Chains A and B, each alone.
Chain A
């Protein structure tokens, strides 16, 4: 038996918005610790990992570890039926073929429930080691979104370079070139959420497909800030912390000069 209730149901709605363009099918893995989702896009270039801790829920019960395989478009459609202020409860039996979603409006005057057919998803699961990254950038999530949207006008590949100066996002395309330099706001009086904090051990420069970075910015509504971690020649991590409950992390493999050429 699995049951989880979230007063702030909008988190789940936003989470699905953040997933559904990138990932077609995925598993919600439920355990005592909470819920997690790991899935890759169809090209296996990026990976998305969601973790929601059990203590972030208002009620959480999971007797046995289970995996609930869902189609993200379909789950998204059902979650669209919930209001932003609704309380959402997820329910599933141990060996169930359905996931029950219950939406309760704030003053309890409307209660709706939906059942989503589950599927068996037999996808590759990747082991992601805990790594220390050479640079970490914390910045407002909408600022990051704006940069990516702007750069996409010019081309499809973007270079992110972190130096002492700051973070430089550059793009080259048929139209021309573009650069956005973001400086650290250290010492300047600003709200924590609006600050740009750059933590750099050594300079890093990596190249990425903008298409995927754009998919990642769909998570902007989940939190005010985004944390970007990079090391040379490994995937970038774009993490959106979700207040008091967990995070959604996106990994994107870089474009690297071919070694054999």
Chain B
């Protein structure tokens, strides 16, 4: 998911755009959070059951999963206590171009299911837990639960018409929020000015957050936005295949040399390079119509999973019945196109103006469609974001009576939200809202040092790899 190897490429070629900061440094900031990503993380990570057991998701008395509610509640309380104002952005309809990617994910899912069955038969607990996690999916119910919870907590919720990352980036570009928070690197391709990663607080004390700055990244790579988008497509995104045999370093080199994908393709043709250009990239070629994705909510599953899987936490899950439930739900959703997720953007559209409606023209090369998705994604603009006081009784009813949470824990959570809200009525301003950031006196020194380091690394690299590099003559 996201952009393949972009993080690695940036850490090597543009280290200055990345920084680790303590959570504290975000005090007073408004942050757009990719809610779907967060929900997956919770569904996977918030589990109970110690070693030697099959880890179970948290459930209420009726057996409905509440892991995501628990996670969302405690993380949001934590944000508010730190003086951060979160806006949660939910996914809308996936773009048509993503259907290929979604299909792949579905296949992986089927595989995981098979492996789970096998693990169960073999009684391999560890494997069973692992596969269980791979099978997690967030349906409409999970999303609606979280929306309800967030509204009760007084946090604004934005329902994106399309991809949540694009909406986060748009909010950030408009200046409505300071940064977008998601693990998904393609948020950077959508040109979010600031991207925050690793906001999971797995380890309480050492909550360090990775900050990526778009402007610094393109500057360090010495690319324009158009070139950067093309680079991301060449690296491999969710919307189309990429050229076989081109890794991150080569992709960057080719884009720098040829400026865009069209020229790169021409060059490949002219030079007769043996690179595997996907059929879908060839212009005017009749491509097999990719089957329309019938499952709207089949989002990000396996990939998100994989990313989060290595992360933290004990716990397990139960699965089969739950899964069937979700599946049944998704089926009904498929039949009925007026579900909340798919209809809400339409409703919202009436209120706010939307931009960049992306139509997919199947006869053009697929990378052009991907490029358009990155540049003119359908997003909502002029959203009003209000942080209100939380609805204490409402939260108690929802969390204690419906979800079966311990009343005293909910009460202490509500107290914390109230406290945070109270101190936010006269919020602490930040220094940078008064004084402008300028170049540090040591900026040149550091830049020079970095360049020197980079050069010495490259030299070392070249020595190690005398021939066989892509630029070498055949």
B24 touches A256 (CB 8 A): no
Given contacts A45-B27, A128-B435, contact A123 B429 (CB under 8 A): no
B437 touches A44 (CB 8 A): no
Residues from chain B with a CB closer than 8 A to the CB of A253 are 428-431, 433-434
Q: How far is the CB of A212 from chain B (nearest CB, A)?
A: 9
- B83 closest partner in A (C-beta): A43
B449 touches A120 (CB 8 A): yes
Residues from chain A with a CB closer than 8 A to the CB of B27 are 43-45
Q: How far is the CB of B431 from chain A (nearest CB, A)?
A: 5
- CB 8 Å contact bits of B422-458 with A (1 = contact, 0 = none): 0011111111111111111111011001000000000
Report Cα–Cα, A127/B24, bound state, in Å: 22
Additional 9 contacts, C-beta under 8 A, given A44-B432, A253-B429, A255-B427: A42-B22, A42-B25, A125-B439, A235-B434, A251-B435, A255-B426, A256-B426, A256-B427, A258-B426
Asked if A254 lies at the interface with its beta carbon under 8 angstroms from chain B, I say yes
Asked if A69 lies at the interface with its beta carbon under 8 angstroms from chain B, I say yes
Asked if A66 lies at the interface with its beta carbon under 8 angstroms from chain B, I say yes
A126 touches B24 (CB 8 A): no
Q: In residues 114-138 of chain A, which contact B (Cβ within 8 Å)?
A: 120-129
- CB 8 Å contact bits of A1-12 with B (1 = contact, 0 = none): 000000000000
Asked if A153 lies at the interface with its beta carbon under 8 angstroms from chain B, I say no
- A234 closest partner in B (C-beta): B434
Given contacts A44-B27, A45-B27, contact A121 B442 (CB under 8 A): yes
Q: In residues 36-75 of chain A, which contact B (Cβ within 8 Å)?
A: 40, 42-47, 65-67, 69
Report Cα–Cα, A258/B25, bound state, in Å: 20
Report Cα–Cα, A253/B428, bound state, in Å: 7
Given contacts A125-B437, A128-B435, contact A44 B426 (CB under 8 A): no
Q: A127: which of B22, B25, B28, B435 is its contact (CB, 8 Å)?
A: B435
Could you tell me which A residues sit within 8 Å of B by CB distance?
A: 27, 29, 40, 42-47, 65-67, 69, 120-129, 157, 207, 209, 234-235, 251, 253-258, 260-261
A67 touches B441 (CB 8 A): yes
Asked if B386 lies at the interface with its beta carbon under 8 angstroms from chain A, I say yes
How many A-B residue pairs have C-beta atoms within 8 angstroms? Tell me.
100
Asked if B111 lies at the interface with its beta carbon under 8 angstroms from chain A, I say no
- A123 closest partner in B (C-beta): B440
A122 touches B446 (CB 8 A): yes
A126 touches B442 (CB 8 A): no
B431 touches A46 (CB 8 A): yes
A126 touches B425 (CB 8 A): no
A125 touches B431 (CB 8 A): no
Which of A66, A69, A125: most chain B Cβ within 10 A?
A125
- A255 closest partner in B (C-beta): B426
Interface size class of B (residues with CB under 8 A): 20 to 34
Could you tell me which B residues sit within 8 Å of A by CB distance?
A: 16, 19, 22, 24-25, 27-28, 386-387, 424-443, 445-446, 449
Which of A29, A67, A122, A260: most chain B Cβ within 10 A?
A122
**20 A–B contact pairs at CB < 8 A?**
A29-B441, A43-B24, A44-B27, A45-B428, A46-B431, A69-B442, A122-B19, A122-B440, A123-B440, A124-B437, A124-B440, A126-B431, A126-B438, A235-B429, A253-B433, A255-B429, A257-B425, A258-B425, A260-B386, A261-B386
**5 A-B pairs with the lowest CB-CB distances in the bound complex, closest first:** A67-B442, A125-B440, A253-B429, A126-B435, A127-B438
B434 touches A157 (CB 8 A): no
Q: A125: which of B430, B441, B449 is its contact (CB, 8 Å)?
A: B441
B436 touches A256 (CB 8 A): no
Q: A207: which of B19, B426, B434 is its contact (CB, 8 Å)?
A: B426
Residues from chain B with a CB closer than 8 A to the CB of A256 are 426-427, 429
Report Cα–Cα, A86/B77, bound state, in Å: 51
Given contacts A256-B429, A257-B426, contact A127 B436 (CB under 8 A): yes
Report Cα–Cα, A121/B22, bound state, in Å: 15
A126 touches B436 (CB 8 A): yes
Report Cα–Cα, A46/B424, bound state, in Å: 18
Q: A209: which of B19, B428, B433, B443 is its contact (CB, 8 Å)?
A: B428
Q: A235: which of B22, B431, B446 is its contact (CB, 8 Å)?
A: B431
- A235 closest partner in B (C-beta): B434
Q: How far is the CB of B84 from chain A (nearest CB, A)?
A: 11
Report Cα–Cα, A47/B432, bound state, in Å: 10
Q: How far is the CB of B436 from chain A (nearest CB, A)?
A: 5
Report Cα–Cα, A155/B441, bound state, in Å: 39
Residues from chain A with a CB closer than 8 A to the CB of B443 are 122, 125
Residues from chain B with a CB closer than 8 A to the CB of A121 are 442
Report Cα–Cα, A128/B442, bound state, in Å: 17
Residues from chain A with a CB closer than 8 A to the CB of B430 are 43-45, 253
Residues from chain A with a CB closer than 8 A to the CB of B435 are 47, 126-129, 251
Which of B426, B428, B445: most chain A Cβ within 10 A?
B428
Residues from chain A with a CB closer than 8 A to the CB of B24 are 42-43
Report Cα–Cα, A74/B377, bound state, in Å: 50
Report Cα–Cα, A260/B87, bound state, in Å: 15
Report Cα–Cα, A235/B19, bound state, in Å: 27
